[in-house]
Structure 1
Amino acid sequence: MDLKLTGLSRSGVAALGSAAALITGLAGEPPARGAVPAHAWPDIVPPRQPQLTVSERNRVLALPFLVERGWSYRQYQCLDRLWMRESSWNHRARNPWSGAYGIPQALPAGKMRTAGADWRTSPATQIKWGLGYIKSRYGTPCAAWGHSAATGWY
């Protein structure tokens, strides 16, 4: 049986090999309960998977919504610039001066209620509402970004 061992250090591979040697017939029956003492198993820590930040998760979440609208990657880049400036893609962002809230910085925040009851906590609901707002007010994210770049708001 060929095993590919990726993401392990040399010592991790050696430890894994030693542990596997204790088990008879890797492809067959597992060893009887208690046949391999617990102290014989090395402490193997799996490689860390990269964790996305809240901003990164929300940015990835937005992509299918733009595709549904038929908007290009260029439109996504404009949206990314716009919402990075507004909220850093944080779905809990609140402007302390105006009260604007969420990824699109809706003002008043309660307007997002039209997209779903979970508007306070759901990035997807906020993104859907924000894209609808952009479509109705500016036509495209690039037009919204152009307005924001010129005026400081959208």
Structure 2
Amino acid sequence: MARRVEFVDTSILCNLLGVPGKCQDREKVVKQLQDKEQARDCDLLLPMTAVLETGNHIAQLPGGRERRTCAERFAGVLRMVVEGKAPWALNEIEWDAAHLDMLIMGGRTGSTLVDHACNRLGCGDLNILIERDRYLARTSGVEATVWTLDELLASYA
């Protein structure tokens, strides 16, 4: 049986961090994380895309106090990743021409970046799929999906 890996989407990270306006499913996501940790049947990877998108959501919060509080929580979670204390590891990627080419071509989705944009799948979501594809290409014996609340992304995950 293949080892299971799940890439943590921005929607999940925002809920876990309690980002105002982006955490309407917080209780459900916290419970899902607890279940995943207890089951120990998959490894969680944090894609670079989720880090960048979450940071942008935090930076766009209207209130300075909530922006700071949320940014401090976010920095704390990232510190835990660096120290190996988070429930997930960072998906280390090489951002190079091959990565961009896969992004433009849409990876294994069967549609290009342009087609996805026209159908409202954002570049960040597509990039998470590319990160997953590249992970699968360099790893054997693994089944990789995306843990997300986004229905469109989930349809490709």
Q: Shared fold (TM-score greater than 0.5)?
A: no
Greater helix proportion: 2
**Which entry has the higher C-alpha Rg, 1 or 2?**
1
Greater strand proportion: 2
TM-score (norm 2): 0.27
Structure number with higher relative contact order (C-alpha < 8 Å, ≥ 6 residues apart): 2
